[in-house]
Amino acid sequence: MSIDMYVQAATSQGENVATVCQREIAHYQMLINNMETFVSETQLRSKTYFNAKQFYGQVLIPLAKAGILLSEAVNAACQKFPNQYLATVDTSNLSSTKLESQIQQLEQNIMYLQDIQATLETTDMDDVLKDVSLSVNNKLMDNLMTSKRILEEKLYLLLDFHQRSPQFFRKSRNWRTLLTMEYNKQKPLGVQQVAVLTFHLQVI
């Protein structure tokens, strides 16, 4: 399977995710503000209100704050993905399949020139013409070998980036797992308000 990287697409995706995450953070913050207003209300003193305030303060507000941290982690990871590629791999689109094919073609051309080199060295011809022909052939081989090394380095960096890139999202996965576990822990309580936190878990 080919490993392909499209810089513009990855950058655009990161920008779109940033917009979504910023909107989610604003929603979470508004939710937290409303819940904190309710918790700090002193006029509501019945046992039902006391239990609701306790649940908001001990469960829902911390979950909403964790949701903000999740959004921030997702946003950071999606920005880091293209930025790290540009910094450590290349500034253009790359495909492992295309690189491997180009390297293979260069190897064949180099072998062809090596055969020509061997033929020239054993051919009985004018010394000056032979020297010129060998020199030109050597330069061609050097150029092809340099091109091959450049492509091999790009392929190595692309494959290395492919191996490293899942680590960029580890923090966001950890936050998502934590939030999901906490949500599932509170879900059996049957408190309807917990549902307000599910929208983010469903889209990340």
Residue-wise pLDDT for 45-74, tens only, equals 778 888 888 888 888 888 888 889 889 999
d(CA 134, CA 142): 12
What's the pLDDT tens digit per position in 161-200?
999 999 988 888 887 787 777 667 665 444 444 444 443 4
Domains of the chain plus CATH, in order, are: 4-203 (1.20.1270)
- Residues 112-128 have pLDDT tens digits of 999 999 998 888 888 88
Written as one letter, the residue type at 158 is L
Q: Where are the beta strands (DSSP E) in the chain?
A: 4-5, 94-95
What pLDDT shows up at residue 195? 42
Q: For the chain, how many residues are written?
A: 204
Beta bridge pairs of residue 94: 5
Q: Which residue has the higher pLDDT, 99 or 120?
A: 99
pLDDT value at residue 193: 44
Residue 181's pLDDT is 76
pLDDT given at position 103: 97
Q: For the CA atoms of the chain, what is the radius of gyration?
A: 30
- Tell me, what's the pLDDT at 186? 62
